[in-house]
Amino acid sequence: MAKRSVGVVMNGVSGRMGYRQHLVRSILAIRDQGGVELPDGDVIVPEPILLGRSAAKLEPIAQRHGLTRIHTELAAALAEPDAEIYFDAQVTSARKAALLTAIGAGKHVYTEKPTAENLADAQELARAAAAAGVRNGVVMDKLFLPGLRKLERLISGGFFGRILSVRGEFGYWVFEGDWQSAQRPSWNYRAEDGGGITLDMYPHWSYVLEFLFGRVRSVYAQTATHIPTRVDEQGRPYAATADDACYGIFELDGGVVAQLNSSWAVRVFRDELVEFQVDGTEGSAVAGLQRCRVQHRSATPKPVWNPDEPTSERFRDQWQEVPDNTTPAAGFDNGFKVEWEQFFRHVYADEAFPYDLAAGARGVALAELAQESAQKGQRIEVSG
Ligand SMILES: NC(=O)c1ccc[n+]([C@@H]2O[C@H](COP(=O)([O-])OP(=O)(O)OC[C@H]3O[C@@H](n4cnc5c(N)ncnc54)[C@H](O)[C@@H]3O)[C@@H](O)[C@H]2O)c1
């Protein structure tokens, strides 16, 4: 068994996602557990190389975690002798140029979503990585959440029979910023700054639908800006120019119909901030981030429509919890970390990894097609 340490250049680690989910909960956690074991018994141990625009922001992070390598120039970070992987969690607008540089330097690349600000750029990235022959991956974290992993287990075990439809509800009330501060940044509500719930969430819906149920073949979407004026971090009112809700209907390969509501202007009467109901001929499931509940055909009640009578059954009580069935007792590991481990096995042991830049580009495409659908008031076919 050989142990090999591998430098991972991490760009954007002062940010929310880069620091917490990728540096601390993934790369440092993998290093601290002794690395990632490959099928032949060899072990890969990632060593972070921090990269950002400001050394002053990176130094306290490095100190806190006993790290020594900090760079403010991409080329210098990529030139570290052990740097084999480049990771990007910068703001989306800064991503394309950095990824192209890393690909040009022959590095394997892994990146946050959306992979680029528009489809042409996202496709250019996928083509560049393919032409250079480097391994590439995109964060598709929702697939690795406990609720969706249990849902995936039901699908692969044939629980549903023929899947008919998927209905998803995502969202919560984001305060306007006047009498209570907003819990999301103001740029999210300005189209000119890359904001909008469609651009934010459709890259996620693309991979959730594709890898659980089938590729998206058409989309019909209606967007809305329900709250036209908000108040920013400095207490100044501003016009919300981006959509804060998107109501979409999708046709998937194999004929499954999906409906997904995404809204920052909805109050939660659900158990989780996102929930998907899947109905199939043999059974149904409701999956959230953590939980997943099922109702089999054999245990399905037979309600009869009668508006004159009060509801006689407690429908929610008739569902059954899907157990975690995980070891160790700790339950499911952090989803970002699980995907990183899979990416390392892809790079160093040739394991399959479908969550690549081409799949990431399909996510950017879906966001653009949904916006086009909303503008034209038409259902749009997805090509390719
Ligand atoms: N997978 C998910 O669920 C998920 C969730 C939130 C955000 N994201 C994505 O992660 C990325 C980062 O989002 P975040 O919420 O961590 O943002 P953030 O604002 O907290 O962090 C952004 C990082 O980029 C750096 N940065 C800011 N402006 C820059 C510029 N002009 N040039 C270069 N670097 C710059 C910042 O210093 C920081 O390190 C975004 O692309 C976002 O779409 C993904």
- Peptide bond between residue 328 and the one before it cis (omega within 30 degrees of 0): yes
Is residue 162 within 8 A of residue 280, CB to CB? The reply is yes
Give 22 Cα–ligand 1 centroid separation in angstroms: 12
* Helix (H/G/I), strand (E/B), else coil: 238: strand
Please give the DSSP secondary-structure letter assigned to residue 322: P
Cβ-based neighbour number of residue 369 at 10 Å? 24
Is residue 95 within 8 A of residue 115, CB to CB? The reply is yes
Q: Which helix (H) or strand (E) covers residue 246, if one does?
A: strand 245-252
Give 224 Cα–ligand 1 centroid separation in angstroms: 25
Is residue 361 within 8 A of residue 125, CB to CB? The reply is yes
Give 12 Cα–ligand 1 centroid separation in angstroms: 7
State if residue 88 touches ligand 1 by the CB under 6 angstroms criterion.
Answer: no
- As to burial, measured by CB atoms within 10 angstroms (0-12 exposed, 13-18 middle, 19+ buried), residue 334 is middle
Instruction: Give whole-number Cα distances, 165 to 5, 89, 170, 255, in Å.
Output: 46, 34, 17, 9
- Cα–Cα dist 356/316, whole Å: 38
State if residue 26 touches ligand 1 by the CB under 6 angstroms criterion.
Answer: no
State if residue 18 touches ligand 1 by the CB under 6 angstroms criterion.
Answer: yes
Residue 326 is predicted with a pLDDT of: 83
Residue type, position 170, single letter: F
The helix-helix angle for 197-212 and 357-376 (nearest 10°) equals 120
Residue of 70, 90, 184, 186 with the most ligand 1 atoms within 8 Å of its CB, for mutation: 90
State if residue 17 touches ligand 1 by the CB under 6 angstroms criterion.
Answer: yes
Is residue 13 within 8 A of residue 23, CB to CB? The reply is yes
Residue 193 is predicted with a pLDDT of: 87
Give 48 Cα–ligand 1 centroid separation in angstroms: 18
Residue 328 is predicted with a pLDDT of: 58
What phi and psi, each to the nearest 5 degrees, are found at residue 70? -130, 135
Residue of 73, 91, 142, 143 with the most ligand 1 atoms within 8 Å of its CB, for mutation: 91
Residue nearest to atom 19 of ligand 1 (CA): 15
Residue 1 is predicted with a pLDDT of: 77
Give 323 Cα–ligand 1 centroid separation in angstroms: 35
- Cα–Cα dist 169/220, whole Å: 16
Give 157 Cα–ligand 1 centroid separation in angstroms: 37
State if residue 112 touches ligand 1 by the CB under 6 angstroms criterion.
Answer: yes
State if residue 341 touches ligand 1 by the CB under 6 angstroms criterion.
Answer: no
Beta bridge partners of 260: 168, 248
State if residue 89 touches ligand 1 by the CB under 6 angstroms criterion.
Answer: yes
State if residue 155 touches ligand 1 by the CB under 6 angstroms criterion.
Answer: no
- Cα–Cα dist 165/280, whole Å: 7
State if residue 70 touches ligand 1 by the CB under 6 angstroms criterion.
Answer: no
Comparing C-alpha atoms, which of 250, 164, 177 is closest to residue 207? 250
State if residue 339 touches ligand 1 by the CB under 6 angstroms criterion.
Answer: no
State if residue 15 touches ligand 1 by the CB under 6 angstroms criterion.
Answer: yes
Residue whose token pair is 């989306």: 92
Give 23 Cα–ligand 1 centroid separation in angstroms: 13
State if residue 92 touches ligand 1 by the CB under 6 angstroms criterion.
Answer: yes
Is residue 349 within 8 A of residue 39, CB to CB? The reply is yes
Instruction: Give whole-number Cα distances, 217 to 96, 249, 250, 365, 366, in Å.
Output: 27, 11, 7, 12, 10
* Helix (H/G/I), strand (E/B), else coil: 283: strand
Strands (DSSP E) contained in 38-82 are 43-51, 70-71
Residue 332 is predicted with a pLDDT of: 86
State if residue 99 touches ligand 1 by the CB under 6 angstroms criterion.
Answer: no
Give 99 Cα–ligand 1 centroid separation in angstroms: 14
Residue 327 is predicted with a pLDDT of: 66
State if residue 373 touches ligand 1 by the CB under 6 angstroms criterion.
Answer: no
Residue nearest to atom 41 of ligand 1 (CA): 92
- Cα–Cα dist 178/210, whole Å: 39
Which residues, given as ranges, of the chain have pLDDT below 70?
327-330
Give 90 Cα–ligand 1 centroid separation in angstroms: 4
